[in-house]
Amino acid sequence: MRRFRHTLLAWLSVAALVGAVSAPAAVSADAFSTWTPGPGAAGDNTYAGFVDVPPANSQVATGNFEVAGWFVDTTAQGWAGADDVQVFQGTMDGGGKMLARALFAQSRPDVAAAVGNPFWAASGFTATIPAGALPTGGQTLSVYAHTPAKGWWYKQVQVNVSATAAGSGAPAPAGAPAPTVQGAALPIVVIEKPKDGEVVKTSSDYSIIGYALDKNASPNQGVAGSGIDRVQVYLGAERENNGTFLGEADLGFSDSIPEGLYGSQFASSGWRLTFKPTKFHVNTYLMFAYARSAVSGKEDVAVRYFAIRD
């Protein structure tokens, strides 16, 4: 860890001065790819991070493998800075194909320890590329990170796609989040309110609204046939990273959006939770909503970036 910290700090110093990128000794997946402006990009490149998995020029399957790493905006205050991470074959604005939306703000204590910034512990991302998503041969994977003020920026890694390669691509490095899905599919969880970037006032209580469901649920599974038996909401950081627990949401609310998307069984898959913004400092925050499936026992999480203001 000491070697990793010294190397990473040296890299950050050089990148800040001349925009060069050289990966730490433990991570070399994309050593020659910098964060590059994408759609809506603005301002200076103040980003740090790596695509740890798959390694550059490694052999991967046509799908069913992980793309994982970490990302921070070094100017972000109180969080790692990204409100969305997506993986493309090719580029977003160059006719590329979106392969997966990543789970982000995941735990990376090695990054926080290396740079001495506890907010960067929630800088990890993991995406699962679906089976058969890529043709064989040399391919360019582009990892896009979105920040509220600076739009999309991306980093690339070259891979060799083989129909006979193992699905995992490569084992995850120490400290990277472990694969989440094995066997049964994850449930679906969405935060509808607050919207991304919304300003929540301290003048009154605020109702968080969303929906959660498991598409594999039978009509008698979970609350109101949603396939969900619990939604928990945390503020400021992930549950496992000492986030502030806001409470367990009330389930079974009517919501026309999931009904329209997934059918009448899920007409009552909405959830609600009211909290008091006055209990928190005026600042920007990440919110994490965890939904547990009554079908499989698995959980998934939705993340929302918003602000609390007077």
With respect to residue 242, please indicate whether it lies within any of the assigned structural domains: yes
Q: Is residue 26 part of a domain?
A: yes
- Tens of pLDDT, residue by residue over 201-235, are 999 999 999 999 999 998 888 899 999 999 999 99
Closest CA to 122 of 235, 249, 8, 5: 235
**Enclosing domain of residue 223:** 188-309
Of 89, 94, 95, 180, nearest to 143 (Cα)?
A: 89
Q: How far is Cα of residue 160 from the mean position of the Cα atoms in its chain?
A: 25
> 141 and 21: one domain?
yes
**Average pLDDT in the chain:** 82
Left, alpha or beta for 148 (phi > 0: left; psi -120 to 50: alpha)? alpha
The alpha-helical segments, DSSP class H, found in the chain are 2-18, 109-115, 256-262
Tokens 């950050």 locate to 12
Q: Are 8 and 110 members of one domain?
A: yes
Domain contains 124: yes
Q: What is the CATH number of the domain that holds 124?
A: 2.60.40.10
Are 278 and 153 found together in one domain?
no
CA pair distance 118, 79, nearest whole angstrom: 9
Spatial distance between the Cα atoms of 108 and 74, rounded to a whole number of angstroms: 15
For 82-129, what is each residue's pLDDT tens digit? 999 999 999 999 889 999 999 888 888 888 887 778 888 888 899 989
Of 204 and 20, the one with more pLDDT: 204
